[in-house]
Structure 1
């Protein structure tokens, strides 16, 4: 399956927020922009999408199903953990407003009715009205985030201050879990093409919204503990 530009944008944003260093970034971020978005992000959701991307890339480039299975199992476990945590939000998809920088892709399948959404990634966005030095700072900060240099990114963004906009990637929990489960079954059955199609459905379900949208969403009720 062709890796289209829209999917490349999804991959870029979902990988832009470093997972292991998120707590470090929280401290620095709050110093200069206390109300901003990083505290919304789901660490388990982020890692799950890293696993999804990893499994999809293995299957797509090599077709080696055995190599992709560990990432799929990890994705399932991390999605289950994210579902139990307090980072998800409940909303109907038609109440979300995708940002113009990243509209939903052509084969996106909307979710009908109220559902739980996980914030699984984000990035700073450029505005043409920003001064050149602030544009350069945002470009540098996004590159630093992607490479995991969170302390440097926080320092870099001090130049931008309150002028920075942040967009977030939201993933619908139930459809993503279903897609990953199907991908796992196909992978265990040595059917990499169908597994890739299922994983692309998970990735295609992501909706990119402004940070302010998150503030308007109702926190979802925690999933009941399994006995």
Structure 2
């Protein structure tokens, strides 16, 4: 998985009819984007995924379950705090089209139906046609995002303007919570391999979507 979570602010019910669903996704995403998407990255969600990665690395490299338990407990607490902070929005996975720069994991298990998504990371994509100073600014902004410094990233990106695409990492809350719970049970029971598998399921569930791609979706024409 190339992305290290360094890592939005919508909670909306999308209707089941095709027209209403397209309308709603577009409308709510526009509301989300209006406040600069990367300002809405969930700090707690970001840290929760850092904890998940930390626990997985401990279990994978050492097999020491006792050492991984604090990170798992922290991930649970931070994920709960992230959900309470109203940093989620609801959509069906088939309405979220993965960014070509970050294809889905080979082990990704699609989520069926409407689900709540938590933006847990962000990344600006560099275009080869950009001027060198803009490429440098994007690299700096990405580093600032990974450190949680969204205000600094916003200031840095003033050099780039609208010339960069922004990729969001979205995590489906319920599957991630379930995988994290299973990983914790396995770790407490001294089954590191099973715990690693559960944590990989949480990481593989993340979808990377382009802010521009979603923002460019137009509402479907009203049915005649």
TM-score range, shorter chain: 0.7 to 0.9
Q: What is the CA–CA distance in structure 1 between the aligned matches of 2:156 and 2:54, rounded to whole Å?
A: 29
Unaligned runs of at least 5 residues, structure 2: 8-32, 218-224
SS in 2 for 1:158: helix
Correspondences of 1:73-88 after superposition (within 5 Å): 73-88=73-88
Q: What is the CA–CA distance in structure 1 between the aligned matches of 2:177 and 2:105, rounded to whole Å?
A: 20
- 1:113-154 deviations in Å (ceiling 9; x for gaps): 111100001111111232222112212322344356666544
**8 Å contact 2:170–2:209 — kept in the other structure?**
yes
Closer, same or farther: CA 115–47 of 1 in aligned 2, 3 Å: same
Match of 1:42? Answer: 42
Q: What is the CA–CA distance in structure 2 between the aligned matches of 1:190 and 1:58, rounded to whole Å?
A: 13
**TM-score w.r.t. structure 1 length?**
0.77
Match of 1:134? Answer: 134
**8 Å contact 2:38–2:150 — kept in the other structure?**
no
Match of 2:3? Answer: 10
Match of 1:72? Answer: 72
**8 Å contact 1:36–1:211 — kept in the other structure?**
no
Correspondences of 1:24-43 after superposition (within 5 Å): 35-43=35-43
Unaligned runs of at least 5 residues, structure 1: 1-6, 18-32, 217-227
Closer, same or farther: CA 94–70 of 1 in aligned 2, 3 Å: same
Closer, same or farther: CA 57–150 of 1 in aligned 2, 3 Å: same
**TM-score w.r.t. structure 2 length?**
0.78
Q: Paired residues, what number?
A: 191
Closer, same or farther: CA 116–148 of 1 in aligned 2, 3 Å: closer
Match of 1:205? Answer: 205
Correspondences of 1:64-213 after superposition (within 5 Å): 64-147=64-147, 153-212=153-212, 213=214
